[in-house]
Structure 1
Amino acid sequence: MGPVVGKGQFGVVHRASWRGTPVAVKKISIMGSRKDEIEKEVAIHRRATHPNIVQMMALGYQGKEAFLVMQFIEGPSLYTIIFPDRDDVEIPLDWAKKLRISREVLQAVTFMHGYNILHLDIKPANVLVDSATLRPYICDLGLAHIKNRNHMSQSSVNMKGTPSFMPPEALGPKKPGYRHTNKHDIWSVAGTLVELYSMKRLWGNSMDPISLMVLILTGQIDKPESLTAVDPRVQKILEPCFKRKPEERPSASGLLDQFNGLA
């Protein structure tokens, strides 16, 4: 494998070559997961063939690690574009570019939901952006369950996703029979777009994750702090995505229609 091009809480991404093609290889711990569970979730990813979803190409194992061979995207994550470090190449985004990225991300989410596929961990770090074309690609589809089982093998907390982008119903203890729905993704993709348009962290910079979870779970805060920094046209579209009752949130296709109506 080639150089490391990305790191996350649950894995490292290398640039590599597979059958003569440049690829990204994500190495993740599969502690707590059976191979049949992983292969089922990777199969879901393979079904999601869309121009704005990173293509899954192959899967391999070594010990307690899985190697996911994926389409290589030459560019940073949306997180890096919004919150660049000192050494990162800055990619300025005007209104038109943000609007295009928004529409294409929502096209991908609409496609997934049309096939009853849930991501459960949409956030700026899981949207890669091609440096040359600015085309966004949703990545890590199907990995929320694997990450969750890995986390559960080391913790008593059962969560799928990243707390700051998770809806209230996904935080804390689950009622018997609870199942994730596509409204989880709606909350998460709206949070992603709030950060894109505000260029600020969703809930501000000062709150630690545990305190944030408690405040969201108990209803002490009901809307992200940075939503007020978003263009009023976008704010009007995204605000309903943060309704506490999942059934009151819009669909991905409804969001896409509204963004298509913006000039």
Structure 2
Amino acid sequence: MAVVRERRHLNLRLPIPELSDRRPRFPLPLPPTAAATTTTSSATISAGDLEKLQVLGHGNGGTVYKVRHKRTGAFYALKVVHGESETDVRRQVRREMEILRRTDSPHVVRCDGTFEKPSGDIAILMEYMNVGTLESLLKTHGTFSEPKLADVARQVLNGLNYLHGHKIIHRDIKPSNLLVNDKMEVKIADFGVSKIMCRTLDPCNSYVGTCAYMSPERFDPDRYGGNYDGYAGDIWSLGLTLLELYLGHFPFLPPGQRPDWATLMCAICFGDPPSLPEHASEEFRSFIQCCLQKESSKRWTVAQLLTHPFVCKDPR
């Protein structure tokens, strides 16, 4: 007996965040023998100042806690990787620390400090995005309408425009790595597998990031032009992310089907890119097509997508 599910659209206002004042830079991480403190421009925060309240999630070998500053009452997110973690995991968190210290954008999650304890534990103190992730919103509120997705796309593109302008490729754009606060600002997070491009022609074809959201050139660079522009992989991932938020399931698979690596690789490399249903607007369909060109050289850049009619509409 077929089960008919009501299609729910997320009815939330997603204003475009105004550009904020530039944030202060943070110092390099303390050596393992140093005290577990970090200094910002406004105050010195030690690990002892923070009270753990609850676990927010797990990812890339670390645990993320909601914490509260005992004196000020301010809430933060604290990502902790323990000293006994695998080398790859520790390398990822150090890469994330390096990138977050470089970033200064209202569209990228803010880093409020870093800690290293003598025990080898590494932690990153970040702004607390109290609504959660786009993935959690999809689960709790249902699928997103086109106007809300246009606002999401605009905000993420502004974040990618900043990152790409500073030669940073995220390589893991997906709903669970896009955080939301109660102002409905969407910010890019989780830079554990990101890459800083030291030279314009640095290759970016390695099998890092989440397999399901990888672009075709990440699997087959010779066929799909992986060396042409590593930044294009973030655009492909954004297109899949928007499709997932609209459809309610991962675009390459039927609803409820669990993905496996081989199936996904074949679908991404040998199948046609997923598309929107007929009832979607022409502008939205065009935007997704611009993101999901299989050849990376044909994919639109961030700058081009920011001029697309889909994201240039006035927010509703």
Uncovered stretches (5+) of structure 1, i.e. residues with no partner: 85-89, 147-157
Q: Deviation per CA, 1:84-124, whole angstroms, max 9, x where unpaired?
A: 3xxxxx37744433222221111111111111111110000
Structure-2 residue corresponding to 1:192: 241
Structure-2 residue corresponding to 1:151: none
Are residue 243 (structure 1) and residue 299 (structure 2) matched?
no
Secondary structure class of the residue paired with 2:105: coil
Structure-2 residue corresponding to 1:76: 132
Are residue 61 (structure 1) and residue 61 (structure 2) matched?
no
Structure-1 residue corresponding to 2:75: 22
Q: TM-score, normalising length from structure 1?
A: 0.78
Cα 1:36–1:180 change in 2 (3 A) is farther
In structure 2, distance between residues paired with 1:72 and 1:160: 26
Structure-1 residue corresponding to 2:105: 50
Secondary structure class of the residue paired with 1:3: strand
In structure 2, distance between residues paired with 1:12 and 1:37: 13
Q: TM-score, normalising length from structure 2?
A: 0.66
Secondary structure class of the residue paired with 2:167: coil
Uncovered stretches (5+) of structure 2, i.e. residues with no partner: 1-51, 196-205
Q: Which has more radius of gyration?
A: 2
Secondary structure class of the residue paired with 1:188: helix
Cα 1:23–1:67 change in 2 (3 A) is same
CA contact (8 A) 1:60 1:67 kept: yes
Q: Mapping of 1:1-263 within 5 angstroms? A: 1-8=52-59, 10-18=61-69, 20=72, 21-28=74-81, 31-33=86-88, 39=94, 41-62=96-117, 63=119, 65-84=121-140, 90=141, 93-130=144-181, 132-140=182-190, 142-144=191-193, 159-171=207-219, 181-204=230-253, 205=255, 206=257, 208-216=259-267, 219-224=269-274, 227-228=276-277, 230-258=280-308, 259-262=310-313
CA contact (8 A) 2:144 2:245 kept: no
1:65 CA drift (Å)? 4.5
Cα 1:39–1:174 change in 2 (3 A) is farther
CA contact (8 A) 2:170 2:194 kept: no
- How many percent identity over aligned positions? 24
Secondary structure class of the residue paired with 1:193: helix
1:33 CA drift (Å)? 4.4
Write the letter of the residue equivalent to 1:68.
I
